[in-house]
Structure 1
Amino acid sequence: MQHTIVMTGASRGIGRVAAEHILRQSPDVHLLVVARGSSGARLAAELRTGGHAVSHVSADLGSLQSVRSAAAEIRDRLDRGELPPLRGFVGNAGLQHTNALTEGPDGFESTFTVNVLANHLFVRLLQDRFAAPARIVITVSDTHFGDFKHNMGMVPGPVWKSPDVLARTGAFPEPDTAVAGRTAYSTSKLAAIYLVHVYARRLPTGIDAVAYNPGFVPGTGLVRNAGPVSRFAMRWILPAMALTPFATSRGAAGRYLADVALGTTNAPTGSYVDRGRVTRSSGESYDPQREGELWDTVEELTAGYAAQPRPQ
């Protein structure tokens, strides 16, 4: 039966591999890609090669107003019957800055906006349009563990604070540094896992939510503008790491993401999928009090954009 999967972050890297894999493995999928400006139309045209059903909606994920408009357009296209039933959302787009001072147009710190608020707004605005069984997949990162085993010392671990503080610029010490920017990144990925746990409890039966970790994927640019040790590792060690079990190639990470999105990987709602298997995320990522506080905050921050969406 034909159905729609909405996907962000499909333009390059593991997202592009995942999009192509989804279309090859499931001919019944209509893939709707969300991308900025003209790149969405170009991406959709490229993915349609071979007769696949692909369309696009334009959105700047750094702007909640833009996300709101994109979700409204998707809702209207579903309601008009232009799209088959919605059975998937893949929030794969992610962002990391080399500081914690970059503010988006809505007044929120940009990393938190793209990695947390944009996904949440899409989920909330599309929630009543999902047709069960449906699956929401949010791409996270094992940097949320904060230990050498998972990030080899290149990305600082998360530093949890009140979600009101995390949503604003300057949340971390020396906010103009790359260390603060990477701390914002790992903390935002921890926040995303918290929200997946809440979605699993709050979404209607038949709408599953899963956190997907691609593992360490060399070549993603997470250590650009780093210090000399990280730059040395990026140039001389990381390419070799790609050939070891400690790393995941972009091709493999993309295929794993597609399998999670299509349900080929059996993952109960609320799961953390590390590449191809369900496992536990960090001990810190299981904290009902933080989950509740974060939910309340993101609901408040996105409330003005979630009300009565209309296309513009």
Structure 2
Amino acid sequence: MQHTVVMTGASRGIGRVAAEHILRRSPDVHLLVVTRGSAGARLLTELATGGHTVSHVSADLGSLRSVHSAATGIRDRLADGELPPLRGFVGNAGVQYTNALTEGPDGFESTFAVNVLANHLFVRLLQDRFAAPARIVITASDTHFGDFRHTMGMVPGPVWKSPDVLARTGAFPRPDSTAAGRTAYSTSKLATIYLVHEYARRLPAGIDALAYNPGFVPGTGLARDAGPASRFAMRRVLPMMTLTPFATSRRAAGRHLAEVVLGTTTAPTGAYVDRGRVARSSAESYDPRRERELWEAAERFTAAYAL
């Protein structure tokens, strides 16, 4: 039976690989990609080959107003029968800045806005349109562990604070530094896991929520805002690490993501999927008080756009 999967972050990196894999493995999928600007038409042309059904909607994930417009447009298309039943949402898009001072149009720090609030608003606006069984998959990161084994010293660990602080610029020491920007990133990925745990508690039966960790994947566009030396290392040097157990290739990470979305990887709601298997996330990531606090804050931050 044909069904819809909505996906952000499908235009490059592991998301592009996952999108191609989803379409190959499940010909009944209508893949609706959320992209920025003119990238959607180009991506649609590239993906919609061999009879695959693909459509796109434009959104700036750093703007909650734009996310609201995209999500309500999808809701309308589902209600009108223009799209088949919704069975999946993939929040794969993510950003990492070289500072913690970048502010979006809604006044939120941009890492938090894209990596946390945009996903939350999509989930909340689409929640009553899912047809069970359905899966919500949000891309996390093993940077949330914060230890050398998981980050190799390249990204500082998360520094949890009140969501009201994390959502604004300047939340971390030396906010104009790359270290602060990377701390904002790892902290946002910890927040992602907290929200997945809350979705598992709050969403109706049959709608599962999962956090997916691709591992360290060199060669993606995540470091596109970094300096020239870092970008060169990510493109030319670090990809060689995929020959070791310390890194994952884009192709493998994308395939694993697709398998989680399609349900090939068996996982209970609320689970953390580390590449191809269910695993424990960090000890810090299991904190019901923080999870509830973040949920309540995300509800407040997005309330004006959730109608």
Shorter-normalised TM-score: what interval?
Answer: over 0.9
2:85 maps to a residue whose letter is P
Cα distance, 1:2–1:286 mapped onto 2, change above 3 Å? same
Alpha-carbon distance in 2 for matches of 1:283, 1:177: 28
Deviation sequence 1:117-139 (CA, Å, 0-9, x none): 00000000000000000000000
Counterpart for residue 119 of structure 2 = 119
Counterpart for residue 242 of structure 2 = 242
Counterpart for residue 64 of structure 1 = 64
Quote the offset at 1:38 in angstroms: 1.4
Alpha-carbon distance in 2 for matches of 1:123, 1:174: 33
Q: Please report the TM-score for the alignment, with normalisation by the length of structure 2.
A: 0.96
3-state SS in 2 of match to 1:67 = helix
Alpha-carbon distance in 1 for matches of 2:13, 2:110: 21
Counterpart for residue 105 of structure 1 = 105
1:10 maps to a residue whose letter is A
Q: Indicate if the aligned counterparts of 2:97 and 2:226 stay in contact, CA closer than 8 A.
A: no
2:152 maps to a residue whose letter is M
Cα distance, 1:16–1:232 mapped onto 2, change above 3 Å? closer
Alpha-carbon distance in 2 for matches of 1:22, 1:235: 26
Alpha-carbon distance in 2 for matches of 1:162, 1:29: 39
Deviation sequence 1:28-55 (CA, Å, 0-9, x none): 0000000011111211121101110000
Gaps of 5+ in 2: none
1:57 maps to a residue whose letter is V
Cα distance, 1:84–1:158 mapped onto 2, change above 3 Å? same
Residue correspondence of structure 1 range 162-181 to structure 2 within 5 A: 162-181=162-181
Q: Indicate if the aligned counterparts of 1:88 and 1:135 stay in contact, CA closer than 8 A.
A: yes
Alpha-carbon distance in 2 for matches of 1:86, 1:263: 15
Residue correspondence of structure 1 range 1-312 to structure 2 within 5 A: 1-220=1-220, 222=222, 225=226, 238-307=238-307
Q: Indicate if the aligned counterparts of 2:14 and 2:220 stay in contact, CA closer than 8 A.
A: no
Quote the offset at 1:213 in angstroms: 0.2
Quote the offset at 1:234 in angstroms: 5.1
Q: Indicate if the aligned counterparts of 2:108 and 2:169 stay in contact, CA closer than 8 A.
A: yes
Q: Indicate if the aligned counterparts of 1:5 and 1:87 stay in contact, CA closer than 8 A.
A: yes
3-state SS in 1 of match to 2:31 = strand
Q: Indicate if the aligned counterparts of 2:12 and 2:220 stay in contact, CA closer than 8 A.
A: no
3-state SS in 2 of match to 1:241 = helix
1:161 maps to a residue whose letter is K
Identity %: 82
Q: Please report the TM-score for the alignment, with normalisation by the length of structure 1.
A: 0.95
Deviation sequence 1:254-309 (CA, Å, 0-9, x none): 000000000000011000000000000000000001001101100000000001xx
Alpha-carbon distance in 2 for matches of 1:201, 1:86: 20
User: In terms of mean alpha carbon deviation, does 235-244 or 82-91 score higher?
Assistant: 235-244
2:14 maps to a residue whose letter is I
Gaps of 5+ in 1: 308-312
Alpha-carbon distance in 1 for matches of 2:92, 2:148: 24
Q: Indicate if the aligned counterparts of 1:112 and 1:184 stay in contact, CA closer than 8 A.
A: yes
Alpha-carbon distance in 2 for matches of 1:236, 1:31: 32
Alpha-carbon distance in 1 for matches of 2:218, 2:41: 28
Pairs aligned (count) = 306
Moved over 3 A (4+): 221-228, 230-237
Q: Indicate if the aligned counterparts of 1:178 and 1:226 stay in contact, CA closer than 8 A.
A: no
Cα distance, 1:41–1:175 mapped onto 2, change above 3 Å? same
Quote the offset at 1:238 in angstroms: 2.2
> How big is the alpha-carbon RMSD for the aligned residues of Structure 1 and Structure 2?
1.6
Quote the offset at 1:231 in angstroms: 8.1
Q: Indicate if the aligned counterparts of 1:141 and 1:186 stay in contact, CA closer than 8 A.
A: yes
Q: Indicate if the aligned counterparts of 1:87 and 1:135 stay in contact, CA closer than 8 A.
A: yes
